[in-house]
Amino acid sequence: MPRSSPDLDALAWDAARLGEAIELLARKARLLPHPAPATVARDFPAPSADLATNDPAALAQWVNLIASQLGIEAEPVESTYADADRFVRRVAPAILYLPQDSATACPRFLALLKSGNERTTLLAPDFSSHRVSPQVIRRALCRPLELPRRRMLGELLDRAGVAPEQRPRVGATILAEQLSGARLEGGWLLRLSPAASVGQHARQAHLLQPLFAIIGADLIRQILLLATWWVIGRSVFAANFDSAWLWAWALLVFSGIPFQLLMTRAQGQFATGLSGIFKTRLLYGTLKLQPDEIRHQGLGQFLGRVLETEAVELLAVSGGLTALVSLIELMMAAAVLTVGIGGLIHALILGAWVLLTLILGWYYWRTNRAWVATYRSMTNDLVERMVGHRTRLAQEDPGAWHVDEDRDLDRYLHLSERVDRAGMLLAAIPRAWMVAGLSGIAIALISAEFSTVRLAISLGGVLLALQALTSVIAGVQNVVAVTQAWDQVAPLFDAATRREEIASIVLPAEKHEGVIDNGEQPLLTAKEISFRYREHGHAVLNRCNLQVGRGDRLLLEGPSGGGKSSLAAVLAGLRAPESGLLLLWGYDRSSLGAEQWRQRIAVAPQFHENHVFTETFAFNLLMGRRWPATAEDLQEAEEICRELGLGDLIQRMPAGLQQMVGESGWRLSHGERSRLYIARALLQKADLMILDESFAALDPETLALSLRCVLRRAPTLMVIAHP
């Protein structure tokens, strides 16, 4: 059982046991499939004391390494002084820094399992849990900011003559005003990886509760509906009308309202939660796609994929709930028809009608599939023509603008007619059921003894089945739309499960101190590197050898198509070599991991493969370093821009570094974009910087200015250029 304990030092974890704390917290928070053991047996490499104390960036990489090995994510989180209280009450499960009195002391950490307004549950190094007031944790986090101001604040309150009983409130107000924007040492929020199954995410988001609420509320609502019919039938067929039956009917009708509201609320909760899981997984999968997988696709196909993801999300959630509700309604209708005058035969007729609905739904799916393929093709072509409209105006013969468009439109209209006919047949199912259902009642009346009560039950069952079949038709249409859209969405959804190489070591942020001290280990070593774009294609790189030492300045020249950019992509970790050995500071990519490798080798690709986002100029500069940016980041970004000759551009932009740029913002010239890409690479603070044709668009004066900046700031440099 949790025990109260305000002594945070006793509950804090040393850096040497941080891996244990992360695993224990993940298991207790049910981010991992098995319950927490009495002891954590996994053998995690402990971060060095120097790494934990003097290298926060490398420590963050180390935490990501541990989280990756566990199959979860550790998201960096931080807070401002003004938001510290809300931060502590909502951040769990998380690992937070516990501030130390000495700046050189090895950091310690708190493992927050649960947060709340009244109590926060912490996990201690002895694997026990303790409940602590959020205010205790907040005071510990804010102490480094408050201590330097306490003495001065006391003197200020003395001179102001503030009464002793009012001093705490006045002091807190002054500190909140002075420190509102100051940032606290944060930590890491633990959460499931987007690659985890939808079921795991649903359990973590507690989506089973609203799902059961939907089923239970709809079932009770159907029972109440049947009860209202029973009351109406009983009062109608009774010899004398009794007002009590009317009151009973009204009570049943009003009793269904709370369950309808509960069902609507639960549907909203379930749809919102599932939508968030779906969006997160699609975005994660998009970032896992390799460039070669989408290189052959145009802007029209990208736009179509985005639109289809939205359609899948909306239709899958709404269609799934509709299908669930309609299934309950069909079961209730079949049960009512069995009790009615038609008996089991009447229920079998309903089953046959459901089978007919599925057959027509399959036909509707087939016709819709061909129509959607034609529609997508026409949409892709239209978007491509819109994007390339200026090129077509300047260079294409106007007589060729509409070649094959009439043929595509004719095929599209023909398929549209087929889809409409299939949709009309499907939509006629509920009306046709009324004929079949009433016919079943008529046959039963002829062949069996007449019973007014059972007749009323059968009529109610027919109406209930009509409502259920109407919902089934809507569900079938949604399923057809989802399956058609899923062709575009499935690659993104499946890509989320791909596993990148997980690092087994973490290098310090600046450099690997052991290999730099002896001066013998090169920064980058490539031995017998071979690469080809297709399995049986021509070898772009054939047994290449290269060695780059720290501080080297290399110029790589060659003709177009000679493999310069391919070599840069292989060195930077953007492409995997077919064979050979590639080492960074003496470690291969499997040891450092794909993410750490790309962080240490920054590449500015050729102009046509780089991009300016429709965001602020500052974001486009610092997106590869850190965002949101600190004041130091922004200051260094502006310094580099001025060294590259972009000072006049910053002066012209009304908002300076915060000016929106990109296609919808401030338009940059070719040379300004090139220097933006150079600054972006410099700001990443990588061990090796590769510039691929980055100076080609610059005039001689600007080229000399930019080259001086790059040579001064890049620790190790490789420039790719034509002879």
Residue whose entry in the numeric block shows the structure tokens 């965002």: 627
**The pLDDT value given to residue 38:** 43
The rounded distance, in Å, linking the Cα atoms of 198 and 180 is: 39
283-291 mean pLDDT: 77
pLDDT at 66 over 50: yes
pLDDT at 308 over 70: no
pLDDT, greater one: 264 or 309: 264
346-379 core/surface letters (b: 16 or more CB in 10 A; e: else): bbebbeebbeebeebbeebbebbeebbebbbbbe
38-63 mean pLDDT: 61
pLDDT, greater one: 612 or 325: 612
The rounded distance, in Å, linking the Cα atoms of 659 and 677 is: 17
Question: Which ranges of 162-197 does DSSP label H, i.e. alpha helix?
Answer: 167-179
**The pLDDT value given to residue 40:** 45
pLDDT at 497 over 60: yes
**The pLDDT value given to residue 520:** 67
> pTM (2 decimals)?
0.68
pLDDT in tens, 188-206: 999 888 888 888 888 888 8
Q: Which of 136-145, 225-234, 244-253, 406-415 has the lowest mean pLDDT?
A: 225-234
- H/E stretch holding 334 reads helix 299-339
**The pLDDT value given to residue 2:** 45
37 pLDDT band, cuts 50/70/90, is very low
pLDDT at 238 over 80: no
261-285 mean pLDDT: 82
Dihedral, CA of residue 570, residue 573, residue 577 and residue 579, to nearest 10: 120
**The pLDDT value given to residue 498:** 77
pLDDT at 294 over 50: yes
**The pLDDT value given to residue 706:** 92
pLDDT at 715 over 80: yes
pLDDT-above-70 percentage for the chain:
83
Q: Which domains does the chain have, with CATH numbers?
A: 3-192 (no CATH), 198-390+409-495 (1.20.1560.10), 513-721 (3.40.50.300)
298-314 mean pLDDT: 62
Q: At what angle do helices 18-28 and 56-70 cross, to 10 degrees?
A: 40
641 pLDDT band, cuts 50/70/90, is very high
The rounded distance, in Å, linking the Cα atoms of 688 and 553 is: 10
The rounded distance, in Å, linking the Cα atoms of 229 and 220 is: 14
The rounded distance, in Å, linking the Cα atoms of 543 and 570 is: 13
pLDDT at 642 over 90: yes
The rounded distance, in Å, linking the Cα atoms of 585 and 657 is: 35
pLDDT at 43 over 60: no
13-36 mean pLDDT: 81
**The pLDDT value given to residue 593:** 79
pLDDT in tens, 505-530: 767 655 444 344 445 678 999 999 99
pLDDT-above-90 percentage for the chain:
9
HSE at residue 680, side-chain half, CA atoms within 13 A, is 23
48 pLDDT band, cuts 50/70/90, is low
Which DSSP string do the residues of 509-567 spell out, in sequence order? SS--HHHHHHS-S-SEEEEEEEE-SSTTS--SEEEEEEEE-TT-EEEEE--TTSSHHHH
Task: Quote the mean pLDDT of the chain.
Answer: 80
pLDDT in tens, 387-438: 677 777 777 767 666 666 777 788 888 888 888 888 888 888 888 888 888 8
pLDDT at 537 over 60: yes
103: DSSP letter = T
pLDDT in tens, 326-371: 777 888 888 888 887 777 888 888 888 888 888 888 888 888 888 8
Q: Let me know: does 695 contact 720? Beta carbons within 8 Å.
A: no
237-274 core/surface letters (b: 16 or more CB in 10 A; e: else): eeeeeeeebeebbeebeeebeebeebbeebbebbbebb
pLDDT in tens, 474-492: 777 777 777 777 777 777 7
643 pLDDT band, cuts 50/70/90, is very high
**The pLDDT value given to residue 46:** 59
pLDDT at 221 over 80: yes
**The pLDDT value given to residue 403:** 67
Cα 173 to its chain centre, rounded Å, is 38
Helices and strands in the chain, H and E counts: 26, 15
